[in-house]
C-alpha cells in the first residue's frame, strides 16, 4: 500500500511538470537548462531502457529531462533517458549499450552511462569515449537487480542514486543547443502524428486538457509503471541516416548506426502544432542547431523533451475543419 501511494504521488508530481507556460518564470528560482522547468542542474546520467512490449510498463521514464528513441536490431526501438534535475529511486528495465549511444551522448560532456552490458567488440570503443562506465558490468546486485515481478531479460532495474556516489568525473548538465521561447508563426496545427521504424511504431496525440502530446506504443497507450501515460509538451522527430554497423547482437542481428551529425530535416511538436525546421550538428561534441526556414532559431517549449530518431517520414493528422453553417 505504501509503494502504491508513493507511485501515485510521483505520478501527480510529474504530471504537474507537463503544464509549463512561457510566462511562469520566477526570479531566483533555479531552472534546469534542458527542460526550462524549476529544478537543479546536476550531474548527467544516461540510462538505456528496453522498449519492447515485454518491458512495459517502464519505471521512471517520465522523470527524465530528455528521452531519445533509437532503432536497434530487428527494427525495434530502445530508449535513452537523460537525468540531471531529479534521480528516481528505481529505473528500468535496463538494457545494453549500442554504438549509436556514443555520438548521441557526446554533446552532453562526460556522461555517467547506466546500462546492463555490451558486446565484447564494443567495450573498448565505449572505454575510449567520453563516458563514465556506471554499468551493471562494474556494479553489484545491490545497485543493479532483477525485479521479481518481471521476466528476464526484461527485468533488470537500477538504483541511480547509489551510482551518484561513483560519479565524481561526471559533468554537470550543459546546454546542447536549444533555448526556450515562443512558438514559430509558421507552426501548423495537428491532432496527432505517427512515427515508425521497421518493427516499432509510436503515435503522439495532442491532449488539450493536459496541454501535452500523449504517446501510444505499438498501438497501445504507453503507460508508465506509475500509471500515468507517457508524453510531453515538447517532442522532436529528427530525420537521420540509419545504416548497418560492424556490430551485432548475440543472435546474429546487425546493429544499426544512427548518424546524428551533419544536417537534415526535423519536426518540432509543441502547443498542438508542428513546425518543420532544419537541424545541423558539426561534430559529435557540438551542440545541435535548430533553424526555421528564415534562418532564425526555432524555440523549444519548456518541459521534458522526446527525440524520435528515424529515417521514415512521419504521418501527420490534422484537425477536421467543419464547414460553417
- Non-local (6+) Cβ contacts of 225 within 8 A are 7, 57, 58, 59, 60
Q: What is the model's pLDDT at position 252?
A: 83
How far lies 225's CA from each of 8, 62, 324, in Å? Answer: 10, 10, 44
Count of CB atoms situated within 10 Å of the CB of 147: 16
Nearest to 111 by CA among 130, 89, 91: 130
Q: Which residues of the chain are modeled with pLDDT < 70?
A: 1-26, 322, 324-325
Burial tier of 261 (Cβ tally within 10 Å: 0-12, 13-18, 19+)? middle
Q: What is the model's pLDDT at position 19?
A: 45
Q: How far apart are the first and last CA of the chain?
A: 54
- Cell numbers found for residue 104: 548521441
Instruction: Output the pTM of the full model.
Output: 0.91
* Cα 52 from Cα 30, distance rounded (Å): 36
Give 146-205 pLDDT, tens digit per residue: 999 999 999 999 999 999 999 999 999 999 999 999 999 999 999 999 999 999 999 999
DSSP 211-240: TEEEEEETTEE-B-TTSPBPEESEEEEEE-
Q: What is the model's pLDDT at position 324?
A: 65
Please give the distance of CA 67 from its chain centroid, rounded to a whole number.
1
Q: Positive or negative, the Cα torsion across 16, 213, 43, 51?
A: positive
Q: What is the model's pLDDT at position 31?
A: 97
Nearest to 67 by CA among 306, 251, 316, 312: 306
Contact 70, 78 (CB under 8 A): yes
* Cα 280 from Cα 264, distance rounded (Å): 7
- Structural domains in the chain plus CATH codes: 188-317 (3.50.90.10)
Q: What is the model's pLDDT at position 83?
A: 98
Amino acid at each position: 500500500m505504501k509503494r502504491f501511494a508513493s507511485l501515485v504521488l510521483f505520478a501527480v508530481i510529474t504530471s504537474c511538470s507537463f503544464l509549463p507556460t512561457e510566462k511562469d518564470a520566477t526570479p531566483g528560482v533555479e531552472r534546469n537548462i534542458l527542460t526550462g522547468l524549476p529544478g537543479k542542474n546536476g550531474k548527467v546520467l544516461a540510462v538505456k531502457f528496453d522498449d519492447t512490449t515485454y518491458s512495459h510498463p517502464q519505471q521512471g521514464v517520465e522523470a527524465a529531462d530528455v528521452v531519445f528513441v533509437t532503432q536497434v536490431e530487428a527494427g525495434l526501438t530502445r530508449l535513452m533517458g537523460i537525468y540531471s534535475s531529479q534521480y528516481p529511486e528505481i529505473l528500468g528495465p535496463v538494457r545494453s549499450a549500442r554504438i549509436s549511444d556514443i555520438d548521441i551522448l557526446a554533446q552532453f560532456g562526460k556522461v555517467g552511462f547506466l546500462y546492463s552490458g555490451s558486446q565484447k567488440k564494443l567495450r573498448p570503443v565505449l572505454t575510449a569515449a567520453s563516458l563514465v562506465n556506471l554499468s551493471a558490468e562494474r556494479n553489484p546486485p545491490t545497485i543493479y537487480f532483477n525485479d521479481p515481478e518481471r521476466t528476464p531479460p526484461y527485468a533488470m532495474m537500477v538504483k541511480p542514486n547509489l551510482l551518484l556516489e561513483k560519479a565524481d568525473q561526471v559533468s554537470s548538465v550543459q546546454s546542447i543547443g536549444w533555448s526556450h521561447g515562443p512558438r514559430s508563426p509558421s507552426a501548423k496545427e495537428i491532432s496527432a502524428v505517427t512515427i515508425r521504424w521497421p518493427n516499432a511504431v509510436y503515435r503522439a496525440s495532442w491532449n488539450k486538457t493536459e496541454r501535452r502530446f500523449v504517446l501510444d506504443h505499438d498501438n497501445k497507450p504507453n503507460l508508465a509503471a506509475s500509471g500515468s501515460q507517457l508524453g510531453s509538451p515538447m517532442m522532436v522527430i529528427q530525420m537521420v541516416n540509419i545504416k548497418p554497423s560492424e556490430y551485432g547482437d548475440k543472435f546474429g542481428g546487425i546493429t544499426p548506426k544512427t548518424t546524428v551529425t551533419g544536417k537534415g530535416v526535423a519536426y518540432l511538436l509543441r502547443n498542438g502544432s508542428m513546425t518543420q525546421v532544419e537541424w545541423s550538428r558539426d561534430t559529435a561534441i557540438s551542440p545541435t542547431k535548430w533553424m526555421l526556414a528564415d534562418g532564425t532559431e526555432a524555440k523549444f517549449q519548456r518541459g521534458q523533451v522526446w527525440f524520435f530518431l528515424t529515417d521514415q517520414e512521419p504521418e501527420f493528422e490534422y484537425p477536421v475543419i467543419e464547414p460553417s453553417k
